[in-house]
Amino acid sequence: MVAAALFWGTCQKSSQLLARPMRPAAPLRMLALGDSYTIGESVAETDRYPVQAVSRLRVSSGINFDNPDIIATTGWTTADLLDALSAAKPAGPYTAVTLLIGVNNQYQGRSQSEYKEQLRALLQQAIALAGNKPSHVLVLSIPDYSITPFGRSTPAPSYIAAQIDSFNLINRQLSAEYAVNWLDVTAESRKAANDPTLLARDGLHFSGKEYETWARLMEPVLKNMVK
């Protein structure tokens, strides 16, 4: 009788454990750092490339990312983004941290040595916010605005393009140094020279269609972060 009672009690506890509903896993978190491209100047919020990237992951792979946290404003340089991070104090760790910054350094005539120094500081913070996992940080290259109507109206679009390439060489080299992911979106941005649907209505920034391409390129990199 005692053994039967013990067996029955054990079965009851086991059935209670089995019946207890599993808590759903908390959504994964992404932090997107940048400037007008990251905040999606002149496009709808749903067309921003960080938003499209997590949406693609949910639909195509069932990966449960929350809506991304975005720290970005039109016109920001690397210095502005450093100041914003200091003020915002985002709470990591994030599963993914993306970084696209530098076009305003070029536009404002800031030096490449300053860009390199400040980008280094941003990369260090990005890695820390990704739980000290460099493989969970993704740097996107600076797109080329020289092919936009605004860029073409300037005295030397070819000089802008060359400058963008020089700044991108820096962010690519630093990405390799810190062992973070680096993604070329500059080549895609240059296709807008022959396809106006890739441009936003302001004649300077890119459209949701162009950002969809960036999101598609980001997808395999982000998938690797959650393996």
Give pLDDT tens digits for 55-69.
999 999 999 999 999
Strands (E), the chain: 30-34, 69-72, 96-99, 137-140, 181-183
Q: CA 119, CA 214: separation in Å to the nearest integer? A: 21
- The predicted model scores a pTM of 0.90
Q: Poorest-confidence range of 4-8, 74-78, 106-110, 183-187?
A: 4-8
- Give all domains of the chain, ordered by start, each with its CATH number: 28-225 (3.40.50.1110)
Distance CA 41, CA 80 (A): 17
Burial class (CB in 10 A: 0-12, 13-18, 19+), 194: exposed
User: Which pLDDT score, from 0 to 100, does residue 78 have?
Assistant: 99
**In the predicted model, is pLDDT for residue 15 greater than 80?**
no
State the Cα–Cα distance between residues 154 and 209, nearest whole angstrom. 25
Mean pLDDT of the region 22-49: 93
Residue with tokens 């296709």: 191
Q: Is it the case that residue 22 has pLDDT exceeding 60?
A: no
Distance between CA atoms of residues 52 and 58, nearest Å? 10
> Is the pLDDT assigned to residue 206 strictly greater than 90?
yes
Query: Tens digits of per-residue pLDDT, 99-141?
Result: 999 999 999 999 999 999 999 999 999 999 999 999 999 999 9
Cα 75 to Cα 105: distance, rounded to the nearest angstrom: 9
> Has residue 9 got a pLDDT over 60?
no
Spatial distance between the Cα atoms of 186 and 223, rounded to a whole number of angstroms: 22
Q: How far apart are CA 128 and CA 113, in angstroms?
A: 23
pLDDT (tens digit per residue) in 172-193: 999 999 999 999 999 999 999 9
Structure tokens belonging to residue 101: 């910054």
Calpha distance 109→203 (Å, rounded): 21
- Name the band, by pLDDT with cuts 50, 70 and 90, for residue 21: low
